[in-house]
Copies of this chain bind each other. A is one copy, B any other.
Amino acid sequence: MDERGALALLDAELEAVGDDAAVIDGLVVTTDMLHDRTDFPEGTTRYTAGWRSVAASLSDVAAMGATATAAVAAYAAPAFDREELLAFVRGASDVCEAVDAEYVGGDLDEHQEFTVATTAIGRTGAGGDGTDPVPRSGARPGDRVCVTGTLGRSAAALEMFERASDASAGDSSAADLRERANDLFRFEPRVAAGRALAPHATAMMDSSDGLARSLHQLSEASDCGFAIDGDRVPIDDAVRDVADDEAAALELATTFGEDFELVATVPEDELAAVREAADVPVTEIGTVLEREEGITLDGEPLADEGYTHG
């Protein structure tokens, strides 16, 4: 059984398992495990690792339209280096502060491979301001498809990490590339934008598996199709620095994933209110269709391809 199959099995087994996060008793709870081989490429600082791993869980809270309350992390490594541990904690604390949550520590474990498990907690409904969590299932034909921020940051960062590793040891550009890649890796979880979207969005999730896969998941949950306009997809500038041409840049921005932006559907007449309330650009990239019209990018079928979390 692969990871997607196993996750589907869990969904079927557990009632309270929600979309991006579980909802219980006014609380939103979500947990993620990340580890060296796949999630922290060579050159990722521990500060970035702390930021990013906690941010991944906070992004799930954002995707529910909830406020973020707290996060914890279990940190496993072959040995505990004081500076590395403090850098990790600073990264974790800083990203919590950025979304008005509190990093409240965690557990340590001796482990062959650097591994981080994070949990974030938020409030919605009864515990928050009365707004119900936004499901994946409410998109209606005619709604507009929106994304927050820009797409492709992680794709660009990974390419930069790779180029830095390939560069000769004395090459000063390697250090610059790594710094820029770390920067791109430290995304800001869209908690405030999620709050702005929540009263208006009919469906919402984060783009951690890539825009294409996210649209397929929303299509499945909402029983709808989508028409996306490639020209409107907000490709991050960094993607153009690593992609050969515009078509390659669009491909990375739509399928690579790990970007943790929000993908939401919003009735057209509520778009202005969302844009006014949000703290980041919310870009309209397409329209919700009937299911049988399929999922298209510039009129061509958009395959269910993207990042499967390993």
Interface residues of A (CB under 8 A from B): 1-3, 5-7, 9-11, 13-14, 16-18, 22, 24-25, 27, 29-35, 38, 69-70, 72-74, 76, 79-82, 85-86, 89, 93, 102-113, 115, 117, 119, 121, 309-310
In the complex, what residues of B have CB within 8 A of residue A5's CB?
Answer: 80
A32 touches B74 (CB 8 A): yes
Residue among A18, A31, A70 having the largest count of chain B Cβ atoms under 10 Å: A31
Q: Which residues of the other chain, B, contact A79 by a CB distance below 8 angstroms? A: 1
A31 and B107 form a contact (CB under 8 A): yes
Q: Are A17 and B105 in contact (CB under 8 A)?
A: yes
Q: Do B111 and A35 have beta carbons less than 8 Å apart? A: yes
Please give, as numbers and ranges, the residues of chain B lying within 8 Å of A70 by CB-CB distance. Answer: 16, 22, 24-25, 27, 29
Whether B80 contacts A6 by the Cβ 8 Å rule is yes
Q: Are A33 and B85 in contact (CB under 8 A)?
A: no
Q: A89 near B10 (CB under 8 angstroms)?
A: yes
Distance of A79 Cα from B34 Cα, bound (Å):
16
Pull 7 A–B residue pairs with CB atoms less than 8 Å apart, ordered by A.
Answer: A6-B85, A16-B103, A24-B104, A29-B72, A109-B309, A111-B115, A115-B115
Q: Give Cα A72 to B89, complex, Å.
A: 22
Cα of A82 to Cα of B121 in the assembled complex, Å? 28
Residues of B contacting A113 in the complex (Cβ-Cβ under 8 angstroms): 111-113
Contact: A27 with B69, CB < 8 Å? Answer: yes
Min distance, Cβ A33 to any Cβ of chain B, angstroms: 4
| Given A13-B86, A14-B104, A113-B113: 11 more A-B contacts, CB < 8 Å | A1-B82, A5-B80, A10-B108, A16-B102, A22-B104, A25-B69, A31-B73, A31-B119, A32-B107, A33-B115, A35-B111
Query: 7 closest pairs, A vs B, by CB?
Result: A117-B117, A22-B104, A119-B119, A33-B74, A6-B80, A17-B105, A33-B109
User: B residues within 8 A CB of A27?
Assistant: 27, 69-70, 121
Report which of B2, B76, B103 forms a contact with A33, defined as CB distance below 8 A. Answer: B76
Report how far A89 CA is from B5 CA in the complex, Å: 15
* Complex contact B110–A16 (CB within 8 A): no
Chain B CB within 10 A, most for which of A1, A9, A29, A80: A29
A5 to chain B, nearest CB (A): 7
Q: Which residues of B contact A309 (CB under 8 A)?
A: 109
Evaluate contact between B89 and A13: CB separation under 8 angstroms: yes
Pick the most buried of A33, A74, A93: most chain B CB atoms within 10 A of its CB.
Answer: A33
Chain B, residue nearest A38 (CB)? B110
Asked, given contacts A9-B86, A76-B115, whether A69 binds B24 with beta carbons under 8 Å apart, the answer is: yes
Cα distance, A104 to B133, chains bound together (Å):
16
Contact A104 B1 (CB under 8 A): no
